A = this chain, B = another copy of it.
Amino acid sequence: MARPGMRVAISVPDTVLEEKASPREKMTKLGLIARACAIYGVDVIEVFRDPLGRGESKLIRTVLEYLETPQYLRKRLYPLDETLRYAGMLPPLRIPSHKAKVPTSSILSGEVREGVVNRDGTVDIGLDAAPLLEGGGQPGRRVTVKVSSLSPLTARVIQRQQVGSYWGYTVETKTVEESLSDRRFPLKVATSKFGTPVVDTVERLRTALRVSQSVKMIFGSPSRGLFNIVGRNLPGRVDFVVNLFPEQQAETVRTEEAIFAGLGIVSLLFAEKA
């Protein structure tokens, strides 16, 4: 995220859209979640199954992945998907991976771009010419590649962590259990209006963030908080249960609003000088 080496995940239930009636409102909400993740450099968005509700994990995942896809690959990866009718009108993320479609002559060796593997062993990275893909790949698959040679134009698949700076987020679907036992993000912060006011735990949280250099922030759904979803044992399953809005003046806070606030606080605490 914000700084090299730091990794941030957010985890939202698949019922996060439950109070939104129209496709357009659902898209607006997902667009805001995606924007918050782009601004604060979130690496992973988890969508976990809310066992108490009728989830929409497929829709959520599709839209969030679509928004994270560079413009030049969208038509190819999402041909005529009715779900995405309104998603195309949402504010763009403008993250580093969203590069322009450029002439091949302007490409430098070592450049990193998102691509889709072609059937002929090349990779479409939004140029006039498609570079050969070292070692090949599964056709239709989305990959992050680094241009390894200009003549012949060749690229090889790299891991996102190898890009060296923030690149974009990935979307994963999980069960609650899988999310809570995820070892990639040992520090887990649940958000709940029954949690400790964030201001009372800010010192401990700052220290924990510095030690772990990563964090997963877990949010509830509009009608059910995490104490409902995970159960009374929530504090035993995570490191912190924080109330991000102990003095909130509006009766309810929406998940996307809580994500902005939570990421803002975590980002500040990560960055503050010791």
Contacts and interface: CB of A to CB of B under 8 A. Distances in A.
- How many copies of the shown chain assemble into the complex? 2
A199 B38 contact: no
Given A41-B249, A254-B91, A198 B2 contact: no
A40 interface: yes
A94 B246 contact: no
A268 B203 CA distance: 12
Nearest to A199: B271
A80 interface: no
Given A260-B261, A268-B202, A268-B265, A249 B35 contact: no
A82 interface: no
8 pairs of A and B residues whose beta carbons are closest in the complex: A94-B251, A41-B249, A38-B250, A199-B271, A2-B247, A166-B249, A260-B260, A264-B264
Interface string A29-72: 00010011011110000000000000000000000000000000
A198 B35 contact: no
A261 to B, nearest CB: 5
A9 interface: no
A271 B257 contact: no
Given A91-B254, A254-B91, A247 B260 contact: no
A204 interface: no
A150 B267 CA distance: 52
Given A260-B261, A264-B261, A245 B199 contact: no
A168 to B, nearest CB: 9
A102 to B, nearest CB: 17
A39 B94 contact: no
